[in-house]
Structures are given as C-alpha cells and as structure tokens.
Structure 1
Amino acid sequence: MQEAGSPRDGVDLHAHWFGRDLQVADRMQDDRWPTLTVDSSDHGRLMLGSTPFRDVRSSLWDVETRLADLDAAGVRHQVISPVPVTLATWADRDRAIEYARACSASVSAAVAASGGRLLGLGAVPLPHVRESVDALQGLMTGTRPMLGVEISSRIGALELDDPLLLPFFEAAESLGALVMVHPGDGGSGTVRRGGQPYDFGLGMLTDTALAAAALVFGGVLDRFPRLRVVLAHGCGGFAWSYPRMRLGANVFQGIDAGRLDELVRRLWVDSLVLDPEHLRLLVHRFGEDRVVLGTDHPFFPAVTQQARAFLSEAEQSGALRRGAAHRVFSSNGAVLTGLGAVAS
C-alpha cells in the first residue's frame, strides 16, 4: 500500500485491459478466442471457449476499481494494453482485423473514461502486415490517438526480424508509435519442457529474449533508428544472455561489439523482474534512463501495491543508485509516454 503522504507520481508502462464491451468473440465460432465472464462485482473469468483460462479481478474491466488500485499504489498514470492472449497471430485476415479493432476500441473507451489517468496501446492484426499498417495509422491519427501498439514477441511462425514485418516497423517509426513487445502464448513452445512453472518461469523470459535478439542482431533497430520499443518482464533473459550473444556475433559474423552495445541501449525495458537485485543488471545493460515501471496489473495485485517499495529496496541495497528508484517509478515513464513532469 502507498504510505501516507507519499506522492502519487508513478507511471506504469505494463498493464492489461479486457473490457466488458469486448464481445466479438461470441460470434466467431472458434474456442481460441478469449471471452470475459463476469461472476460478481469483483470477480470474473477469462474463457477460451468453454475452458477457463484465468480468474480475474474487476480491475481488468472496471475503470473506477482500477483507478482505486492505482491510487493505493501511488501510480498517477498507467498505460493499458490488451491481454496478451488476445494477440491472435493465428487468426485469418477478416477475423483478426475485427478482433484487433474491437480490442483497440475497448482500450480507447477505458482511456476516455479515466479522466486522463490511463493511456492506451492498441492491437493490430499481425501477421497481416498491410492491414496492420492501416490499423496502426488509425490508432495514431484518429480522434482519440493512442500511444502505440502491443505486439507479440513472435508473430505466428515469424520472428520479429522477418523481412515480411519490416513495413510494420517502418510505419511504427514514421508514426512515432510506441511498440510494446509481450509474449503472446504464455511462453508455451519456447523451451523444451512445457507446462508450469516452465512456460511461465522460463518460456516467457526466453521468448522475450529472442524477440530482443531479433531486434538487435536481426537489423531492425539498425534499419529504423527512431523506432521506440519497450519489452516486458525486464526484457526476459536477454540482459543475462547478451554478452555471450555479442561475443558470438563478433567472432562468427564479424559484427562490431560496440555497435551492438549502442543498439541494446536504445531498447526500453520494464522493471517486472521480481527480485530487486536483478535491477542492477538492467541498469547496467540498458541504462538507468531506459528502465520503466511495469506491474502486469491487475493480474498480480501485490506487485502493483508494492511497486514503490520494491524499487526503494533496490536502492537501499545498492542495486540502484540513490535517486534511481524515482526515475524508474516515475520520470522515465513520463519521458517515454510524453507526459513530461508528473504531478504528485
């Protein structure tokens, strides 16, 4: 909980939304599409067809409850994005377009109802690239523009450096869209051992690391120098794996290590690493100005409530330098989102 008298100045870049208005899956006749079942004023279930996917709290669909959560955690602004399971990279063109449009509309409605507290990332129907470019144009230039878009760490069978995806990243750069990269399949199929805790604990981190590697080693960041990308979960295992990948790229491909370091420090990553000591490496790898608050709200309530204390603990232990906790909790996110100085 927020301590009495502490400022409400946090800027949370990693949070999800699934509104009660997102009902198009009911008519799509495919059990892979998620739907929301509300059981009471404070409890619901995300469903895949008739199969329960996840128990959820009302903060997932209710703006008022969400803002109360943010007040308790000292968070002033939150960037909301679709629940990752809605990033249906397997879907056919027409259904993918319809569902992505509905996800974005739900996020936009929540932003509009929040009194300026919520900011939005929409959805696009990747891997249908031309349609995704059109959708991104609409998200960024419509009557209620969004900050950008959330995409999966892999697009079906495509890694993020696949040439087919280049027009999408070109559009994101030219439109100034923020691209949030998040595992879309819960880590399944990424490591050799599936199920839990392996998908959640290793698969999602590996999936995100592979996405970052595609952006850095696959030439995407080189090709689009103004592209803004933030990766969930502290960029997964990438911060730990990068030195070995850098050595391999230098030895076997002749890629300049210094240039790779420059590209890595263009990425933004969130603070959702669950151990304060891990923040030390994030700052070392990406830069103190590139780590932003991430909570995965509302799925792990304690993470949101303890976000400020988590960063303060890292500062007190020396994992973060003095003053860095505030930068991660507030200032860096304000810069990335264009909020400027955040009022308490």
Structure 2
Amino acid sequence: MRFFLLMFSFWTTIAFSQSATVQGLLPTKFAGKPVQLTLMNYETRKDRKVQEVVTNAKGAFQFAIPLKEPLIYSISVADSALVQVLAKPGDVINLQVKRDDIVCTGSQDTQYLIDYERNRKNVFDKYLKRTYDSSAVAVKSGDKARIEYWNVEHEKASENYKAELATWVEQPFFINSLAAVHHSMRWHSDNDIKLMDQMVAIFQKKYPNTELTRQLVNKVNATKRIALGAIAPEFTAKDTASHTVDLKKYRGKYTLVDFWASWCGPCRQESPTLVRLYSKYKDKGFAILSVSIDTEKGRWANAIKKDGYTWENVSELDGYSGATAALYTVTAIPNSFLLDKDGRIIAKNLRGKNLEAKLSTLMGQ
C-alpha cells in the first residue's frame, strides 16, 4: 500500500508539472459567452486555437492546459482579443477583468505582458493616434500636400514610438522574462539586434531547448539577414497573372522592395508618390517590386489598377504568413527595402520626401 501511495504521489506530481491552469473572472455581461485559448506562433504568425469554453453565470471560466514548457497564449472573448498569458508547467494563473484593467496573480510573466501591452497602447496614443487620424482625414480630402505632410509626420511619430517603447523593454526585469519574446518577435530594427542577442544569451541559459527560445533565435538571425548592408534575401513569387517573378532579375538597378496591401491606408496614401517617382526614374536605373500582404486576389488586383501601379506586383495571398513576408520579417506595413545595384540593402522604410531625396542623390539629380 505504501508503495502504491508513493507511486500515485509521484505520477500526480508529474502530471501537475506537465500542465497549467488559467482561470478568470469577467464582468457578468459576458456570462454565457465563449472564451477562446489560442497558442501564439510568432514565427509563422499562424496562431492555433486549442480550447474553447463558455463562461458561467458569474462570468468565470477555466482552462486546463497540457504543457511541457513555457508558451504564450492569447485569450479572446467572443473572438475579441482580451489578453496574452505566459504559462509555465505547474502555473495556476488567475485573471480578473475590471472595466479596462486586468489584474493577474499566479504569474509574474503574464503580469509583465499585461503591463507591456498597457504601456504600448499609451505610447501609441501619445505618438501615432493623431497621425493615423489626420492621415485619414487628408486622404478623404484628396489634398496631396496634406497627405504628404502627414506621411512625413507619421514617419517621425513612428520613430518616437519605437524609441520610447524600447526604453521600457530594456528594463532588466523585462528582458530577463520570456515575456520579452512577445515584444522582440513583433517589433524589431537594426538597433534592436544588440538587445536581442542579449536576450538570446539569457534564454539559452535559462530556457534551453524550448520553443520560445528557438523562435527568438530564428528571429534574431532573420533580423540580421535583412540588416542594412546585407544582401537582400532572394525570393520568387507570382504576380496577378500567376507569372513567377524573381528578385534576381533586378540586379543592376536600384530597387525598392515595397510591402503593402489594398487595405493599408498609409500604403495607399504613398501610392501617388511611388507612381511619380517610378515615372521619373524608371529609365534611369530605378525599379519597384511590390509585395502585397493581401489575402484576396480581387481586392489586390483592383487596388493595383486604381492606384496606377505599372511595375511588377507579387503576392502569396497569405497575409503576414506569406513566405516573402516571413523571409523579410514583415509584421507591419508599410515596410520597404531599398537595394543597390548589387542587391544590397542600403535603406529601409523611406517614404515621401525622404525617398525622393535618396533617389535624387543616387541618380545624381
């Protein structure tokens, strides 16, 4: 009997260590609503729903997650994103939603994720909300000068946004937590490589052979692959007529690899500038290869026609999960890479007057 009890205790401990519990309490207005648990994949961006439950009359829910290593999940209510949680084997995570705030106990890493998203939203509102709203008004008015002005202002605001967010991320408590993977996999630049290398060293020591560490290592390598001065990764993709287009054929020209989509307002605002610059420099050694993040061929083709794109335009029609977007670690648009005649990346995300000034210098006029 003693042997049986010891073995029962042993296997119970093993089973507990191979799972985590996430339980939460929502406002009662969400009683009877479905709650989804989705495993996040930052590398492929193909997240996978793993469980769904329905809240009880008090708005409570619970997930029991089979788990062998730390992983990040997203919790949604009625298909509307609520919060990300970082679950480790043995965790019992409690979430309580109060108006616009979420209180977490049982997981410091999850609290870091909540704090990060709260801070990110505040920084977004501080720098980018105004430029997005003003750009939309400018586009509706059709005033090209105002559109150009707000494009430039948006670039400045984006840099300020990234810089202020980075100061929060660089805090020791955050970069020592796997929660930092959530930031590094979504936001990156050449300036982030040093910090990301530091995180890799930490996680390979603390969490070796785990999926999140593997994804981070791959992300760092991919970021270095598209750093300034690197030869742009080769790719092939199909145009709207299903013809294969190869980046290699653009060697010998200054080429703008431009990631965009029909639904992307800032991308479409930039269209008149791209059309004008292409017309001005296409016979002087400048080319554009646009890569769409669209998922619907009809919308993609209509946008090309409406905006007057006469250069080659390709897409895998798989959103951010497309092979080319993944190769260039594109997680937000507009996003562009200017290549020299040898295919080397010489600038990133130049828009409006900045792109025009760069091309004028390169073309000697």
Is this a same-fold pair by TM over 0.5? no
TM-score range, shorter chain: under 0.3
More strand as a share of residues: 2
TM-score of the two chains, using structure 1 as the length reference: 0.26
